[in-house]
Amino acid sequence: MATIIQIADAVVAQLNAAAFSQALTATRHYAPSFKLPDMKALHVTVVPRSISSMSLDRNRDTFNYEVDVAVQKKTDGEQATLDALMTLVEEIADHFRVGPLASFPGARCMDVKNSPVFSPEHLDEFRQFTSVLTLTFRLVR
């Protein structure tokens, strides 16, 4: 299995095993596609994003694997609901920043991006919270 898929699966496993302020079930997708009426339930989606590599020595490369974690939920637009979802996004980011991937310990999370912190377009047009974390895992092989 491709390394990035193994890393994405490890991210899914870790999300599902950890305790966050809101219960969640993460799933891995290639091309996530959801219907708006289904978004009343919290969706946490893991998608492989990109791979880059740099030569380290004659035999090894340093690989950066980017994996997206999308947190999405149709909301009532209430600030308290949105604040709680922002807290969840931060908890997920902190979770990967501070610890190794339990089922893939060779890959270290080196960078966490969350820009923009939420999609204003989704909030305006669907009253749906969408925030995408991009986690970069480094692996030497």
Q: Which residues bind another protein (CB under 8 A)?
A: 31-37, 39-40, 45, 47, 68, 70, 72, 74, 76-77, 119, 121-122, 124-128, 130, 132
Contact indicator for 119, 89 with CB cutoff of 8 Å:
no
Kindly state the smallest distance separating residue 117's Cβ from another protein, in Å. 12
Kindly state the smallest distance separating residue 124's Cβ from another protein, in Å. 6
Q: Smaller CB distance to another protein: residue 61 or 111?
A: 111
How many Å apart are CA 7 and CA 83, to the nearest integer? Answer: 29
Q: In what order do the strands lie in the sheet with 26-28?
A: 26-28, 43-55, 61-74, 128-140, 108-113
Q: Smaller CB distance to another protein: residue 61 or 124?
A: 124
How many Å apart are CA 74 and CA 43, to the nearest integer? Answer: 9
Kindly state the smallest distance separating residue 13's Cβ from another protein, in Å. 21
